[in-house]
Structure 1
């Protein structure tokens, strides 16, 4: 709370790297893989609306391992982002993306392969 993080336990895999302190909000039903690097201003949230607790668990993002999440990125809804992806600063991610890609823009789209 002191550093403006709202990150529930057991959402991130091991090796989480928080680059700067600042507001980071993560829905407790989200799942993010190991060795994720995340910047300030990020919001990872569920689909908008009112849902039962059980239903809400399936309406949050799933992000793979070894992903980079740039400053100010917003990632919402029942989507998945593959392993080894880069999400650019201020991207708004509302659909799923495969492994090994660079995602940027509003709305987010693949701007190149991460190979």
Structure 2
């Protein structure tokens, strides 16, 4: 029991930068308290002490603002951040290392007995206000965006957003996606969420600009190498722009390195 409590506290440190010391985590994290209450009520539920289990879970809801049915099965190192308004149904199953934010519902869509709540794999993260409804399965390391409503299975490693939930990050990134991310790093742009399916128009526009810049670099490299093979000299150093801002200087350096890489990797046959 104490080993599990230590794991729970360690998981708070890993996933919440606001956690400063052991005593603060122990006394001020209702999500942690709700999980510990659930472990007690779940044991009572398995011992067929159903009324007592439900009564204590109701008491835990009053104290923490988090409702977890005693019948739910929860894995190790489960973390509920903030916690207020979280509801986890009776037949829900949660794997190891999962994270839920406030307002999340793992609910059902039927009044029939039996399996009617979601099953989460390991490492799943569900954003604030999301609703996962029905006996569906959320694959390992999947992500559910804030306020999404998910009513169908989520593949392993995928990201779902919207109402109804739709996949915006495929389980396997394409070669072009990885190439775009590498280009973004060279130019000093944070490529987080620059996916072809990203609903953010600004992120999509920046991603396409990165594609265009890379294409121009490749074409310029091709022209320079071809002209040099014919005896020309057109690939000298470009004029440097003197900038006082350190960020701009770093960006200029990265751009120069990118141009040189484009030149080095192209070898046309004439």
- Per-residue deviation, 1:113: 3.2
Asked if 1:83 corresponds to 2:140, the answer is: yes
- Cα RMSD over matched residues? 1.5
User: SS of the residue aligned with 1:51?
Assistant: coil
Could you say which residue in structure 1 is the equivalent of 2:168?
Answer: 111
Relative to its length, the structure with more helix (as a share) is: 2
Could you say which residue in structure 1 is the equivalent of 2:232?
Answer: none
**Partner residue of 2:84 out of 17, 22, 33:** 22
Q: How many residues align?
A: 110
CA–CA separation in structure 1 for the residues paired with 2:141 and 2:80 = 17
Could you say which residue in structure 1 is the equivalent of 2:74?
Answer: 12
**Partner residue of 1:42 out of 88, 104, 112:** 104
Counterparts of 1:84-103 in structure 2 under 5 Å? 84-103=141-160
CA–CA separation in structure 2 for the residues paired with 1:67 and 1:87 = 8
Asked if 1:51 corresponds to 2:105, the answer is: no
User: SS of the residue aligned with 1:110?
Assistant: strand
User: SS of the residue aligned with 2:132?
Assistant: strand
**Rg larger in structure:** 2
Relative to its length, the structure with more strand (as a share) is: 1
- Per-residue deviation, 1:22: 0.6
CA–CA separation in structure 1 for the residues paired with 2:108 and 2:90 = 9
Retained in 2: the 8 A contact 1:3–1:23? Answer: no
CA–CA separation in structure 2 for the residues paired with 1:95 and 1:43 = 15
Q: Deviations over 1:66-111 (max 9, x none)?
A: 0101000000012111000010000000001110111111000110
Unaligned runs of 5+ in 2: 1-60, 174-270
- Per-residue deviation, 1:19: 1.1
CA–CA separation in structure 1 for the residues paired with 2:66 and 2:83 = 8
Moved over 4 A (4+): none
The TM-score with structure 1 as length reference comes to 0.88
Could you say which residue in structure 1 is the equivalent of 2:129?
Answer: 72
Could you say which residue in structure 2 is the equivalent of 1:3?
Answer: 64
